[in-house]
Chains A and B, each alone.
Chain A
Amino acid sequence: MYHRRLCGCSRYRRATLLCSANIFQFGICSDGFMQRGLDSETKKQLEEEEKKIISEEHWYLDLPELKEKESFIIEERSFMPCEDLLYGRMSFKGFNPEIEKLMIQMNSRYKKEEIEADDKMEADVSDEEMARRYESLVGTIGKKFLKKRDRHELQDEDEDENSNLRPSNVKKMFLKPQD
């Protein structure tokens, strides 16, 4: 049997339900009305149609693609980098010692070669002494992280340097008193 049922609003005549005995077919409405049973394919078709309509309506320039030319000109309004000008505050013959220090500091920023030459500074502590200190340092800090038993053993070891060292793996078990 062939029924024709109109949906709620009379406006959407396209969305009529055509139902035969077994098959329900929904009419395609362009704005997505009655989308319950639409397949993904039909959805895609709808979207494509919408896009076509929209792009036809939009105006666009019918020009070939224009590339922006990379300009190699950088505009710099200050004179400072052009002529490598010195620092503006100066003092002569010790009139203002702070400014004289500053003069050396600021003007040496331009001449970086001097800074690179001063890499090796005189060390207060010699390398050998440094190594010795580090050796003992590692030991003292390592002791901090030992467990109490180990710390105790370590202490005894140090005391009994002259006598034989006790084997450190002996477990302290209960010793039965001799009769």
Chain B
Amino acid sequence: AYWVDSQQKRYVPVKGDPIIGIVTAKAGDIFKVDVGGSEQASLSYLAFEGATKRNRPNVQVGDLVYGQFIVANKDMEPEMVCIDSSGRANGMGIIGHEGLLFKVSLGLIRKLLAPNCEIIQELGQLYPFEIVLGMNGRIWVKAKTVQQTLIVANILEACEHMTSEQRKQALAKLSES
């Protein structure tokens, strides 16, 4: 397989990509979700695990959702869901209220999600924290204290421009303090 690797910040919705979206509006049966693309994606209220017409999911405007695209082409409005093909959530759905959401370039996300990523492994040994990476360049981090959350966020943002040595130095400093 051949692919063109490019550095970009602007996301183009692609079918099957897991992304973090921000709910911007509620319009009857669907939610409008901002995914960082040219158009807002639509998310049906039935596309959550265990959701029925009577048992609606508790989604408010401004919530963060982690889902994947089922329809994403240049001719149609993108549609996303928070369940997989067998109907299970598999970690998708509403992301909790705490934590921090920030934006990075798409290339960094791919680097972080690579099978043998040192950055994530090294960070994982620092503090206990939780992280969600969306292919649209958005990362959500949550740690025990606000300070730790900010530290993790700063390191991830700076990782793009640091070499691995610089990164290890920075992490060593942190683990000392």
Contacts and interface: CB of A to CB of B under 8 A. Distances in A.
A92 B16 contact: no
Contacts of B117: 86
Contacts of A78: 14-17
Contacts of B134: 88
Given A77-B14, A84-B115, A93 B66 contact: no
B127 A89 contact: no
A93 to B, nearest CB: 3
Q: Which of A78, A87, A90 has the most CB of B within 10 A?
A: A90
B131 interface: yes
Interface string B3-17: 100000000101111
B124 A85 contact: no
Contacts of B123: 92
B91 A79 contact: no
Contacts, number: 86
A86 B144 CA distance: 24
Contacts of B115: 84-86, 110
Given A78-B15, A82-B1, A102-B91, A88 B129 contact: no
B120 interface: yes
B130 interface: yes
Nearest to A103: B91
Given A78-B15, A78-B16, A83 B129 contact: no
B46 interface: no
B17 A92 contact: no
A64 interface: no
Contacts of A76: 1, 3
Interface residues of B, number: 32
Given A78-B16, A92-B124, A106 B90 contact: yes
B114 A83 contact: yes
B151 interface: no
B17 A80 contact: yes
A86 B128 CA distance: 19
Interface in A119-140: none
Interface string B43-86: 00000000000000000000000100000000000000000000
Given A79-B3, A88-B135, A95 B129 contact: yes
A80 B106 CA distance: 12
Nearest to A90: B131
Interface in B72-110: 90-91, 110
Given A78-B14, A78-B15, A106-B91, A95 B113 contact: no
A152 B14 CA distance: 73
Contacts of A19: none
A16 to B, nearest CB: 64
A80 B114 CA distance: 10
Contacts of A106: 90-91
A13 B16 CA distance: 72
A129 to B, nearest CB: 36
A106 to B, nearest CB: 7
A80 B66 contact: no
Interface of A: 76-96, 99, 102, 106, 110
